[in-house]
């Protein structure tokens, strides 16, 4: 076989040889999946807040984020699951705000004040106000979104405040029901007026203002005055 024939044969063998596929590591695939999910979630958040729950469609989401419907459904089972994830995304800092206080130390009133400021920052954020307006406007047609919002938002905040009060023994002589009622008073006094004002007016302006700090400070002061009790045998 002459040299030209050998080269021609070698070329054909190379062309016939199947491409070698390099297997991706499980960690890489997992990281890619998480990144893709996060990208879908961010775009879906904007879509829901801009278009509303009823008008937001999977087709529009695919057009904005790319990929296919099957990709969306591989991460989120249905529209309700996706909306629940969006609510979690918007309110992701709620759990952090109520759980960032470790072992009780320092002045409890000051920590209650800091807790209040953290909650107000989230509740009065532009995205949360837009989300709340959407839920209020559409929950009569889609009751499921009201339930999802309630469980992922107000209920979570309430549970966080209860946990704070128990771990810091703010009401050591109180029973569970009393602590629950006190936590409800705290969140109501802290959030109600500022939240209603933000819902009915501009969605910005109060979040980082001196007024928000004042509301948190006065709520903490009133809570300690009305609800905090010394442990048995302590000073009265």
CB 99 within 8 A of CB 160: yes
Nearest to 51 by CA among 63, 39, 37: 63
Tokens of 195: 């939240």
Sign of the alpha-carbon dihedral angle for 158, 160, 114, 210 = negative
User: Over 60: is that where the pLDDT of 120 sits?
Assistant: yes
**Do residue 196 and residue 101 come from a single domain?**
yes
Mean pLDDT, residues 186-199: 92
Cβ within 8 Å of residue 143, ≥6 positions away: none
The residue segments making up the domain with residue 75 are: 28-86
pLDDT digits (tens, 9 = 90+) for 199-211: 988 655 566 678 8
Whether 18 is in a domain gets the answer no
Q: How confident is the model at residue 137 (pLDDT cuts 50, 70, 90)?
A: very high
| DSSP per-residue string spanning the chain | --HHHHHHHHHHHHHHSPPPPPPPPHHHHHHHHHHHHHHHHHHHHHHHHHH-TTT--HHHHHHHH-S-HHHHHHH-SSHHHHHHHHHHHHTHHHHHHHH---S--S-HHHHHHHHHHHHHHHHTSHHHHHHHHHHHHHTTT-HHHHHHHHHHTHHHHHHHHHHHHHHTTSSTT--HHHHHHHHHHHHHHHHHHHHHHHHHS-SSSSTTSHHHHHHHHHHHHHHHHHT--PPTTS--
Last residue of a domain, one of 57, 86, 115: 86
Last residue of a domain, one of 67, 86, 105: 86
**Do residue 100 and residue 74 come from a single domain?**
no
CB 149 within 8 A of CB 131: yes
CATH classification of the domain holding 78: 1.10.10.60
pLDDT the model gives residue 83 = 94
**Do residue 108 and residue 39 come from a single domain?**
no
pLDDT digits (tens, 9 = 90+) for 62-112: 999 999 999 999 999 999 999 999 998 888 766 666 666 555 566 899 999
pTM across the whole model: 0.76
Total domains, the chain: 2
């Amino acid at each position: 076989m002459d040299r030209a024939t050998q080269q021609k044969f070698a070329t054909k063998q190379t062309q016939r040889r199947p491409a070698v596929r390099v297997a991706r590591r499980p960690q890489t695939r997992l990281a890619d999946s998480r990144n893709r999910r996060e990208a879908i979630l961010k775009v879906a958040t904007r879509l829901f807040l801009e278009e509303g729950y009823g008008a937001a469609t999977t087709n529009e989401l695919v057009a904005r984020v790319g990929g296919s419907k099957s990709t969306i459904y591989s991460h989120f089972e249905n529209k309700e699951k996706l909306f629940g994830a969006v609510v979690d995304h918007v309110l992701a800092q709620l759990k952090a705000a109520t759980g960032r206080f470790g072992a009780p130390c320092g002045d409890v009133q000051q920590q209650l004040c800091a807790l209040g400021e953290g909650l107000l920052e989230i509740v009065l954020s532009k995205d949360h106000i837009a989300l709340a307006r959407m839920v209020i406007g559409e929950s009569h047609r889609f009751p499921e979104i009201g339930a999802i919002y309630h469980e992922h938002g107000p209920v979570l905040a309430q549970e966080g405040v209860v946990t704070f009060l128990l771990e810091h023994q703010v009401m050591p002589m109180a029973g569970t029901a009393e602590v629950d009622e006190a936590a409800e008073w705290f969140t109501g006094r802290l959030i109600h007026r500022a939240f209603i004002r933000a819902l009915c007016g501009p969605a910005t302006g109060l979040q980082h203002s001196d007024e928000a700090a004042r509301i948190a400070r006065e709520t903490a002061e009133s809570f300690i005055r009305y609800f905090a009790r010394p442990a048995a045998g302590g000073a009265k």
